[in-house]
Amino acid sequence: MTEHEQLAGGRPDFDAIAGWVAPRATVLDLGCGDGLLLKYLTGTRGVTGYGIEIADENVLGCVKNGVNVIQSDLERGLQGFDAGSFDYVILSQTLQAMRRTEAIVLEMLRVGRQAIVTFPNFGHWRARWQVAFGGRMPVSDSLPYEWYDTPNVHLCTIADFERFCAGHSIRVLDRIVLHDGRPVGLLPNLLGSLAVFRFERMH
């Protein structure tokens, strides 16, 4: 495994995100976990910024990874940051776990000039198949939890998110849909398991 692949930690969305982030940009990473994304962006794009994380063990992981971290609950918003404080605000595979999804997306666009989110696509054919023909909530690589222990509270499809953006005066700048780490061009809402969006507020 190359150093580049080790930094990505097996997360295919990291490369997609890095491709959109300008060199030496300022970044705020929400729900940053152990800080691997910020570490990756620092190593590949020379960014500076902060992560926000609530779990003690993840905050410790950020410190070990050399990432600046603020321990805070995202559900309470980003009131501590001025408008336009960062070039990019990122929410990577955490959108579906947010209870106040609408509020946090709008806060991302207040604090950042652009926002990037990644989320598992509930519209993928395997998820549809498990619900329609198995009669069970789907379990997959991108949705690995059972219904009774999942942190996910607001699952959505690619089509759902695009409709949300259209209804909130949000301009989608870029979209990459992945499955098994590879881009999906044909029927992305059916064949893609992970979505990556870059967007901004319409002016």
Domains of the chain, residue spans: 3-122+155-201
- Output the CATH code of domain 3-122+155-201: 3.40.50.150
Tell me what pLDDT residue 89 has.
98
pTM (predicted TM-score): 0.88
Token code pair at residue 43: 């190593």
Give the sign of the dihedral formed by CA 177, CA 179, CA 185, CA 189: negative
pLDDT in tens, 8-56: 556 889 999 999 999 999 999 999 999 999 999 999 999 999 999 999 9
Strand partners, 119: 195
4 has a pLDDT exceeding 70: no
pLDDT in tens, 126-148: 888 887 778 877 777 777 777 67
Specify whether the CB–CB gap between 97 and 152 falls below 8 A.
Answer: yes
pLDDT in tens, 160-171: 999 999 999 999
